Amino acid sequence: MILSAVRQMRPNFAALIFVLVFCLTGISQTDPDPNSPEPVLLSHADSTRAMTEEESILSRNTRRRLEAFPPGAKVTLYASGLELSNEEGRNSVRIYAEDKQGRIFRFPVLNVSSAKSLKDTQAITVWLRDDIGYWDGPAQGDVLLRLTWRGMSSNRVRLGYGKSGGEIKDDTGAYPTPPGSQTTRRTKQEPTNEALYGYKWSGDRIRFLEQATFGATPALDQRLRRIGLRTYLAEQFSAPYPSPNNPYPDIELKSTDSSNVTIGCGMYPLGPERDNCWRYYYTMYPVQNWFMKEALYGDAQLRHKVAWALSQIWVISGAGGSTQQASWMIAYHKLLSQHAFGNYRDLMRDVTLNPGMGNYLDMARSRRQSPNENYAREILQLFTVGLFMLNQDGTLVLDSNGDPIPTYSQEDVENFTKVFTGWSFCNQTCPSSAPGIVNYKDPMILTQGNHDVTAKTLLDYPNAVNRNIEPNLDGSVELEKALDNIFYHPNVAPFVSKLLIQHLVTSDPTPAYVGRVSSVFNNNGSGVRGDLKSVIRAILLDPEARGDVKTDPFYGKLREPVQFMTNILKAFNVGSADLLQQSDGVLTNLTNPMGQNPFNSPTVFNYYSPDYVVPGTALLGPEFGLMTTGSSVARANAVNTMVYSRLTVSVPTRPLGTSINLADMDALATADPTGNLLLDELDHRLLHKTMSPQMRALILPAFTAVSASNPRARAQAAIYLVATSSQFQVQR
């Protein structure tokens, strides 16, 4: 379990976020059946000790058993139930170990092949060393091993690390799994006629909507059941955006000197009117509210979701000293949404010349006489190739000493810096130019006299494009050459693919998943590189993404604050405070305490790092970087506010308020005094029918302790308990 590892953290923090480690699972798809079998690690017939010698098992020669292996040894395990595709190999399987201290390790998988003498069995060779490097190694003695594949988990078997024996206990209900005892631990569902039944897997429908939208609704669930995933994706790729009834806020450019309100809002006297002017033009307030309304009610959910993901990769922010205005951010978001299903190369160019980015990372002020490295460094490190050379499955390329190989050098940064000199705001000749106002809407333009025209040497890689740029070129020509040099670098496909998988599906995808998506990035099937529509489709329809339930405890992602709230609100027909109209979208007082203030990222590195490893675990979990004692309590408080109260009207900042509609939950609580119907519906809406028996056994008596004569109080208690649980807070 993810949080069994988190218990190594300071106790009060671990206790508060224990809910967030209990659940991390997802599933796999091929239409029409999205479900994969659970793999089984084989053991000896008389114990749960791992089978490590095929011949000794077949001959039943127990004297040949090896029960302990030295640290660093290569060991072969055996598994059934792995229905590997032709493109799946060792990078599709992971082996985790837990030692007697409850610490979690990941052992590198060196090879996966068919067993010599065992039918439908895979031989998996692992290296008994910590793949993550967080710990020195497991405590010596027996460890429990788990195999995961496509978000599914095997049983756990026992292996001696250094020596056999020790204090660690088998899992409750564990039993021997010798060859031939079983092939899977779960019966796959029989296919049905989709023409009659639609996309029938209800769990996978909700999971898909969590990944592709800002939250499932009963209406969306029913539509997806009728039309299926692929038809829904086709609709989303062509859906109008933004919603006709929620157009982008029409905000004019004001003075760019945000330190002097009297310039941009000086027409108003000191007091509320000037404060309102400041809030509307000089903060992210109108953008945030528009964004939330689109997330709650918009039809083009997938484009909105991908644009939000891109905004956390290509970051600009209104926070700190960046002095971004709402109008600048709207222009920037328009650009991201325009390219959400376009080509990554086009996105690279348009973001590079966007004046909001030019201001945020200083390219607009970079001249040959005073060059600035900020944009040159971040386009390489954060937006395209990353720090170290990658294989196409996202794993590190290592040198002869086993060390990662840097993707670029300081000299490379300096050369790209020269390329990016001479560009600045178009203040006179562009459509949005106006006297006395800096133009933050139209693309930046080049002043050749401010551009460095010396020769440049850029990124070197096999068959490198435009590595050497000759002197005295026009800066516009140089820019295109330099962006091509970056775009065709082999790192771009795995680097970008993994980031998008993390934002949409799971925090720690297997290299096989990354590799499959990376392949689509490199070639969409028609020879086109960087086609984001094909990439997004590949991410959402991949076998590692699809399925009713995921049993791998390390699968999934902590719901980031924005999506944590929208997922809850949309599940219960969110509306205004009086439920007579739509919410005004003013939700930042809920998300900010959790660590996410939309469009106000604290740094260019986003709200959290994509490389964040949950302390004390082998789990890559970016969103856990936001989890503190305070933010974990803020999550529970936010649920409490929406379930037991509402965001009331507060003029002028919250003109309509926000509330959820519990009428259908009240009806279920009234109809069934046992509480089972209500809990079944919450299990479907919020957990895609994956609530564990243990969780059900705890929650049912807790909310039915509330008198049946007060169905609203019963419904509120049940929703609060489910929505604050780990099994909901981690999207699986």
Structure token pair of residue 570: 């949309």
pLDDT of residue 19: 33
How far, in Å, CA of 698 to CA of 695, rounded?
5
Edge-first strand order for the sheet with 104-107 is: 68-69, 152-161, 141-149, 93-98, 104-107
For residue 192, pLDDT over 50 is answered with no
Closest CA relative to residue 444, chosen from 324, 284, 339, 332: 332
Residue type, 95: I
Per-residue pLDDT tens over the stretch 604-639? 999 999 999 988 777 899 999 999 999 999 999 999
Burial of 674 (0-12, 13-18, 19+ CB in 10 A): exposed
For residue 261, pLDDT over 80 is answered with no
pLDDT of residue 257: 55
Lowest-pLDDT range of 150-159, 313-322, 526-535, 594-603 = 313-322
How sure is the predictor about 180, in pLDDT bands with cuts at 50, 70 and 90? confident
Per-residue pLDDT tens over the stretch 702-714? 999 999 999 999 9
Q: Count Cα neighbours of 143 within 13 Å in the Cβ-side half-sphere.
A: 28
Return all residues near 674 (Cβ < 8 A) that are at least 6 apart: 704
pLDDT of residue 34: 60
pLDDT of residue 321: 57
Average pLDDT of the chain is 90
For residue 63, pLDDT over 60 is answered with no
Span 187-211, average pLDDT: 63
How far, in Å, CA of 207 to CA of 33, rounded?
15
How far, in Å, CA of 1 to CA of 20, rounded?
10
Per-residue pLDDT tens over the stretch 441-480? 999 999 999 999 999 999 999 999 999 999 999 999 999 9
Return the sign of the alpha-carbon dihedral for residues 187, 192, 194, 199.
negative
How far, in Å, CA of 139 to CA of 393, rounded?
31
pLDDT of residue 58: 52
pLDDT of residue 563: 98
For residue 390, pLDDT over 60 is answered with yes
pLDDT of residue 28: 32
Lowest-pLDDT range of 48-57, 167-176, 384-393, 441-450 = 48-57
CB 89 within 8 A of CB 391: no
Would you kindly state where each structural domain of the chain is located, as residue ranges? Answer: 38-182, 345-490, 557-606+626-731
Classified as helix, coil or strand, 304 is helix
Per-residue pLDDT tens over the stretch 366-382? 999 999 999 999 999 99
Per-residue pLDDT tens over the stretch 135-178? 678 999 999 999 999 999 999 999 999 999 988 999 999 999 99
pLDDT of residue 166: 86
pLDDT of residue 183: 46
How sure is the predictor about 256, in pLDDT bands with cuts at 50, 70 and 90? low
Residue type, 348: M
For residue 20, pLDDT over 50 is answered with no
Measured in residues, the chain has a length of 732
* Helices vs strands, H then E, count in the chain: 28, 15
pLDDT of residue 87: 83
CB atoms within 10 A of CB 503: 24
Per-residue pLDDT tens over the stretch 274-311? 889 889 998 999 999 999 999 999 999 999 999 999 99
pLDDT exceeding 90 applies to what percent of the chain? 80
CB 216 within 8 A of CB 571: yes
Span 98-108, average pLDDT: 92
First to last CA, the chain: 13
620: Cα separation from own chain's centroid: 11
Burial of 611 (0-12, 13-18, 19+ CB in 10 A): exposed
How far, in Å, CA of 625 to CA of 507, rounded?
12
Lowest-pLDDT range of 54-63, 320-329, 676-685, 718-727 = 54-63
Span 379-398, average pLDDT: 98
How far, in Å, CA of 550 to CA of 23, rounded?
9
Return the sign of the alpha-carbon dihedral for residues 408, 413, 418, 422.
positive
CB atoms within 10 A of CB 543: 23
Residue type, 517: V
pLDDT of residue 130: 87
For residue 203, pLDDT over 60 is answered with yes
How sure is the predictor about 97, in pLDDT bands with cuts at 50, 70 and 90? very high
How far, in Å, CA of 703 to CA of 700, rounded?
6
How far, in Å, CA of 544 to CA of 599, rounded?
30
Lowest-pLDDT range of 33-37, 353-357, 667-671, 701-705 = 33-37
Return all residues near 304 (Cβ < 8 A) that are at least 6 apart: 214, 241, 242, 294, 295, 298, 337
Span 96-113, average pLDDT: 94
Lowest-pLDDT range of 130-134, 140-144, 315-319, 723-727 = 130-134
Structure token pair of residue 631: 């933010």
pLDDT of residue 200: 64
For residue 342, pLDDT over 50 is answered with yes
Lowest-pLDDT range of 51-60, 102-111, 230-239, 704-713 = 51-60
Q: Which fold has domain 38-182?
A: Immunoglobulin-like (2.60.40)
Span 311-336, average pLDDT: 89
Query: What pTM was computed for the model?
Result: 0.92
How far, in Å, CA of 476 to CA of 209, rounded?
42
How sure is the predictor about 26, in pLDDT bands with cuts at 50, 70 and 90? very low
DSSP 320: G
Per-residue pLDDT tens over the stretch 550-605? 999 999 999 999 999 999 999 999 999 999 999 999 999 999 999 999 999 999 99
How far, in Å, CA of 108 to CA of 126, rounded?
6
Span 647-651, average pLDDT: 97
pLDDT of residue 53: 81
